[in-house]
Amino acid sequence: MKNIGVIIPLDYKLLSIAAILDVFDTVNRIYAEEHRELPIEINIIQSPAQIKKDCNSFHGYPVRSITSDYVADIVLIPSFTTSNLNDTISKNHKYIPWIQEQFRAGAEIASFCTGAFLFGATGLLNGKSATTHVDASNAFASSFPLVLVRSDQTVTADGRCYTSGGSTSTFQLLVLLVQKYCGNDIAIRIAKIFAIDLDRYMQSYFSTFRPNYTHNDDLVMRVQRDIETNYVDINTIDDVMKDLPASRRNIVRRFKKETGIPPIEYLQNIRIETAKRQLEQTNLSISEIIFDTGYADPKSFRKTFHKLVGMKPMEYRDKFKVK
């Protein structure tokens, strides 16, 4: 029997918790109906302050304190509701040494969506591949520069560390864990019960590029605004920097520090985000969209679009065009 510890942190997303519990409860139900020994034991993990406030039960599941001698086979970190993830991680800092201790004792650790931020704060993902909600990927990369961020992936598995992307990617990771612990047959049955698409490995086409304006670097802000205003007419990134009171190297370093990506990638993202909106909302031809977004070379446009979005422009239009 695998002992699963589900952390219930502050600011947790109820949908994330519900998905985790529902899938593993369903696995146990399948085994019970076949009169087989249950493969999974679920325990809820909380801090002493939470237990004192909420009592010793969470919807009928036993609650274990992070100060107890409980040892898990795998620890699951759910997603968070808040966009202020730095504040949320600070509020949940007591979980960090507990997760580290569980990992040292041999546990596997898995995070779902923005739960990766708490996972990242443990340092256990340093040097490992990880993903999170695609729109939180830049913030995650800035917060944890030693992590190999795979923002296009729905699921990553690196040693004893697992992560999943945006909300519904939770199910892809849960099926992976079910397959590992219970075998392929049960994993397929779970996928059918929950209508999980086992072939969806990419999440990049759900991304929306959201520029970061929360920093205080006026020079970087000036470059951002220039790119966003003049992206159609910019031939090289040097066009944006030639009149700025700093060296190109210094600007690129500061720009990447504040936005998470270098200026050339910022330009590409602005152009491709514009192309996505036109594919969604207009009947413009691909050639017209290429011209409107500042690309002179159709091959370059298509290559960049596929790299950032994960599919061809016409595939994106077929999938997302407003009817």
Using one digit for the tens of pLDDT, what is the confidence trace for 247-284? Answer: 889 999 999 988 888 999 999 999 999 999 899 889 99
Distance of CA 148 to the CA centre of its chain: 12
pTM strictly above 0.75 = no
Q: Please tell me the predicted confidence (pLDDT) of residue 322.
A: 66
| 199 pLDDT tier (thresholds 50, 70, 90) | low
Position 203 pLDDT exceeds 60? no
Taking the C-alpha atoms of residue 216 and residue 252, their distance in angstroms, rounded to an integer, is 16
Q: Please tell me the predicted confidence (pLDDT) of residue 94.
A: 96
| Domain spans in the chain, listed from the N-terminal domain onward | 2-206, 218-320
Q: Which residue has the higher pLDDT, 199 or 82?
A: 82
3-state secondary structure of 151: coil
CA distances from 268 to 12, 185, 218, 263, 295 (A): 34, 43, 22, 9, 10
Helical residues (DSSP H) of the chain, grouped into ranges: 14-33, 48-54, 85-91, 95-104, 116-121, 137-143, 169-182, 184-193, 218-230, 238-241, 248-259, 263-281, 286-292, 298-309, 313-320
Position 59 pLDDT exceeds 70? yes
Q: Which fold has domain 2-206?
A: Rossmann fold (3.40.50)
Position 206 pLDDT exceeds 60? no
For the stretch 149-186, pLDDT in tens is 988 888 898 889 999 998 788 998 998 899 889 987 88
| 205 pLDDT tier (thresholds 50, 70, 90) | low
CATH number for region 218-320: 1.10.10.60
For the stretch 17-27, pLDDT in tens is 999 999 999 99
